[in-house]
Amino acid sequence: MATDKVVETVIVGNYVEMETEGKAKDVKTRLSNFFWHGGSVYDAWFSCASNQVAQVLLTLPYSFSQLGMLSGILFQLFYGLLGSWTAYLISILYVEYRTRKEREKVDFRNHVIQWFEVLDGLLGKHWRNVGLAFNCTFLLFGSVIQLIACASNIYYINDNLDKRTWTYIFGACCATTVFIPSFHNYRIWSFLGLLMTTYTAWYLTIASLLHGQIEGVKHSGPTKLVLYFTGATNILYTFGGHAVTVEIMHAMWKPQKFKSIYLVATLYVLTLTLPSASAVYWAFGDMLLNHSNAFALLPKTPFRDMAVTLMLIHQFITFGFACTPLYFVWEKAIGMHECKSLCKRAAARLPVVIPIWFLAIIFPFFGPINSTVGSLLVSFTVYIIPALAHAFTFRSPASRENAVEQPSKYFGGWAGAYTINAFIVGWVLVVGFGFGGWASMTNFIHQIDTFGLFTKCYQCLPPPSAAAPPLLNSTVGAPPPHHHPLPHHHRL
């Protein structure tokens, strides 16, 4: 009897310990899922909204100075709607492709579907090659822009190092994104990123209103076509986060629910971009023509330093957003995409970071590069290719009849969808790529002529005794730069 009692006690004791251990593991799993494994509608919304408003938030006042207040507001509303429509088209094409493949018993459990694969499966290899070229180039320069923005922002907190040195440092920091496996793992980062940009946007708004208008402020924009279309293409770029849309959808548990997420995210983003850009432009006017980063004009305070710090963290997150699809493409090219070892995949991804790092050092032009990328790459990646791909995928009556997702009757059905697609292709091809490409390349080449490649400290203010060349000459139509007395180490 005594022996039985001892055995029972041991058994009960072991059971209690196992139960406790199971509960601990269960809690650990729940915590891991809460912070790490995201795939809900809310995760997708946070990812879309966070990915839209990174460093562009700081360059929109610069765009307003080129466009003028009215055009700046109208272009944001217009391109926000166009971007939401093409994101909706991409979601339809993704669901169509995945449904067809899953009917063929294709397993995607260890494979991340990407935009160029959707084009390949629906329209063939030529579409795949075009989509891959535009998407990868856009993501490459999108990552470059994040590094440039990091260096530009940290300089306003610590100017003991020039911007090029800060680019070296942040290039090494951003390389750590190779350890983030996929968009499933951006749950907490997306949430924090949106909080950071929300704070920054309202800081820009409130700080500008409290600062008030500078003495003799002028709001002369628009003055030149070059400036006007440069600013318009920067806004085109603002609502062009579609290069990662398919990857965000694939990370969802129910990707068919994505259709309206991008629109809701855009509406929230507009509550950040419209007040901040309008307030900064109202306060500083034409001075923004020579200060593409809004932080440059606001006085140094703890609130500004907090905004700079939060934007730096967010730009690290956005770098990961832009680079992760490139990591996937590279992994597939070298046969490492389905490898289960995180360390091996991280090591294989490192070569992707090196050209990004190098390009950020060659072209450190914070504002103009946004417009150039917008006109030459975003126009096709975000607007033209999705609209054409949708039209060609469903060009036959049979394909329209058997489509997994039918266009909403609110858009006029198939006729309405084709009409909207044709308008987007025509508008973006002429205004975005044509006029925008001419204007942004003119401005970009002027930056190279003025500062040269490998600029050590782009738009750093020189001491008053130094004769600094104007950032935009008379052909572009900007006034001479505004100088402040700064230490000797601020030389360009």
Q: In the chain, which residues have pLDDT < 70?
A: 1-37, 365-368, 370, 447-492
| pLDDT at position 449 | 60
Kindly report the pTM of this predicted structure: 0.80
Tokens of 53: 């408003």
CA distances from 10 to 5, 19, 60, 64 (A): 9, 14, 69, 75
Contact indicator for 272, 49 with CB cutoff of 8 Å: no
Contact indicator for 92, 406 with CB cutoff of 8 Å: no
| pLDDT at position 448 | 65
Tokens of 206: 């409130």
| pLDDT at position 69 | 95
Comparing C-alpha atoms, which of 116, 170, 108, 123 is closest to residue 143?
A: 170
**How many Cα atoms are found within 13 Å in the side-chain-facing hemisphere of 454?**
1
Fold type of domain 37-451: Amino acid/polyamine transporter I (1.20.1740)
